[in-house]
Amino acid sequence: MGKLQQRLSQVQAQIRGFALSCDRDPTEIRLIAVSKTRPVSDIREAWKAGQEAFAENYLQDALQKIPVLQDCDIEWHFIGRIQSNKTRTIAENFSWVHTLASFKHARRLSAQRAESLPPLNVCIQMNLTGEQSKGGIAEKELRPLLEKLADLPHLHLRGLMTMPPAAASISQQHQLFAQLRRLRDDMNQQGHALDTLSMGMSGDMQAAICEGATMVRIGTAIFGSRT
Write down the pLDDT at residue 27.
97
Task: State pTM to two decimals.
Answer: 0.96
| CA nearest neighbour of 124 among 97, 150, 147 | 97
Angle at which helix 103-112 crosses helix 142-149, to 10 degrees, equals 20
- pLDDT for 212 beyond 80: yes
Contact 51, 8 (CB under 8 A): yes
Burial of residue 30, with CB atoms counted within 10 A of its CB: 0-12 exposed, 13-18 middle, 19 or more buried: middle
Q: What's the Cα-to-Cα distance from 189 to each of 140, 157, 184, 192, rounded to whole Å? A: 16, 16, 9, 7
Helices and strands: H and E segment counts in the chain: 9, 8
Give the separation between CA 127 and CA 138, rounded to whole angstroms: 6
Q: How many domains does the chain have?
A: 1
pLDDT at 5: 96
pLDDT at 155 (0 to 100): 97
Summary mean pLDDT of the chain: 96
CATH number at residue 60: 3.20.20.10
Question: Contact 165/175 with Cβ under 8 angstroms?
Answer: no
What letter would DSSP give residue 118?
A: P
List the domain range (segments joined by +) for residue 207. 3-223
Please report the pLDDT score of residue 1 as a whole number. Answer: 67
pLDDT of residue 166: 86
How much is the average pLDDT of 57-86?
A: 97
Q: Residue 22 and residue 54: Cα distance in Å, rounded?
A: 26
Mean pLDDT, residues 50-66 taken together: 97
pLDDT in tens, 140-191: 999 999 999 989 999 999 999 999 998 899 999 999 999 999 999 999 999 9
Strand partners, 218: 33
pLDDT at 91 over 90: yes
Query: For residue range 5-31, what is the model confidence (pLDDT) as tens digits?
Result: 999 999 999 999 999 999 999 999 999
The span from the first CA to the last CA of the chain, in angstroms, equals: 23
